[in-house]
Amino acid sequence: MTAQPSDPQLSTRGYVLFLLTALSAMNQFDRQLLNVLIEPIRHEFGLGDFQLGLLSGVAFAVIYTVLSIPAAIWAVRGNRRNLLAASAVVWGAMTACCGLVQSYWQLLIARFGVGVGEAGGMPPSHAMISDLYGAEERGAAMSTWSAGINIGVFFSFLVGGVVGRYYGWRAAFWVAGAVTVLLALLLRLTVREPPRIADRHGRSFAALPSRSLLMATIRTMLFEPVARHVVIGASVASVVTYASLTWFPSFLVRSHGMTLAEVGIYLAFVIGLGGAVGTWAGGRLSDRLRKRDIRWSLWLVALVLAGIKPFMFGFLLVDTTILALAIFLVPGIIGAVYIGPSLAVLHNRVPADLRPVASAVFLLIVNFLGLGLGPLLVGSMSQFVFAEAGPDALRYALVMVQVVGIWAAWHYYRAGARLASSARIAGGEQPA
């Protein structure tokens, strides 16, 4: 018998969500740790900004996004808990290997390995959350999982900044890898595979061949206007987000003379803890606004993405360090609000069987463009376009990428407008 999100058998769903959020945090922790440690790695191996952009973005994003598709197809038919646990063991072990490398090329290969493991993280997590929480609660649940991203950023900056400063950058990778493996074992030993919910489509898609399943998902996302605008908006926003996460530590070191430990502690509390609260609260607010006017579940995102731009420009252009850090508090706390509502709306617009693949396609597009293009774009502009600006080259490159983010707000506005008039697809969204 297929369980529904309110089934009493799922009374432990809070614990499951907690573990999924913890692994979401470690996913981001292991991914972002390299960015915090860019400066000591750059000095040890004698690297340029282009090489660092390639290392922190493309090296990870290509393998991560490509392998997410077969991982998602497995999640449609196989045991999602086991997939997530095995994937976490792989990315945790490869993160620890990053601390053993002796050259740039060895580090590049280790980053490929982290991408292999993390490819199996998001699709099964999203599918399990959608089976545990119905449409009315899904925005808050997805935002709780997304808050794990900020928590991971918190620990990456804190551990990377403090441990990297006092015990060396290699020790930080060893700590991150060990914690991830322990959480993977805890998930495998204490969590049961959640029952799959059914919608009006039943299990009609699960029996499709893998290629047909993928094409059905792509067609749904391409021709469903709300999903299409959300994917484009999230992709553009992720370019800015990943570029910022990668290069803000170096920017504060180069342009403001802060130490690695100071940068790590500051960004840990602002983007990490503050951002976790902002992301979680944004998801809950989106769910509440959805009950009054469904359009505001996405218009809230558009308002946030547009509203933080003056603060971002101020942070990057002000020379006074204290003032710059104070200005950054606003975008640092609410800048990632878009993730939870985007995932919730996407899962509400597609049939249940397509949700893991929809997450993977979403992940592929968002991360390939954001993680693959964002850091490399800023690194390239810093090294080649603004080279004559000297220490301020990175500052101007970051300003230019922020301009692109305004485009994302427009897509979320259009998605919200279409949300009110479009037909319901998968038992999630009700037209206003």
CB 292 within 8 A of CB 353: no
Torsion sign, CA atoms 165, 166, 170, 176: negative
Residue among 273, 41, 277, 23 at smallest CA distance from 157: 273
Determine the residue type at 158: L
Find where tokens 């095995």 sit. 86
The fold of the 13-189+210-421 domain, in CATH, is: Growth Hormone; Chain: A; (1.20.1250)
Distance CA 272, CA 266 (A): 9
Question: Which of the given ranges, 317-321, 349-353, 376-380, has the highest pLDDT on average?
Answer: 317-321
DSSP alpha helices (H): ranges in 168-224? 169-190, 210-223
Six-digit token string for 23 = 């692994």
Tell me the helix, strand and coil percentages in the chain, rounded to 5: 85, 0, 15
Distance CA 40, CA 164 (A): 9
Q: Is the pLDDT of residue 373 over 70?
A: yes
Weakest mean pLDDT among 195-209, 269-283, 295-309: 195-209
* Domain boundaries, given as residue ranges, for the chain: 13-189+210-421
Weakest mean pLDDT among 72-76, 96-100, 296-300, 334-338: 72-76
pTM beyond 0.75: no
Distance CA 187, CA 310 (A): 42
pLDDT tens for residues 240-249?
Answer: 988 988 888 8
Mean pLDDT, residues 251-269 taken together: 86
pLDDT tens for residues 120-151?
Answer: 888 889 889 988 887 778 778 888 888 888 88
DSSP code, position 192? P
Q: Diameter of the chain by CA atoms?
A: 67
Determine the residue type at 345: V
Q: Is the pLDDT of residue 427 over 70?
A: no
Query: Which residues contact residue 43 at a Cβ distance below 8 angstroms, ignoring those fewer than 6 apart?
Result: none
Determine the residue type at 219: R
Q: Which residue has the higher pLDDT, 59 or 111?
A: 111
- The number of C-alpha atoms within 13 Å of 93 and in the hemisphere containing its C-beta is 11
Q: Would you place residue 169 in the very low, low, confident or very high pLDDT band (cuts 50, 70, 90)?
A: confident
Tell me if residue 333 falls in helix, strand or coil: helix
Distance CA 6, CA 86 (A): 28
| CB burial string 57-68: b at 16+ within 10 A, e below | bbbbbbbbbebb
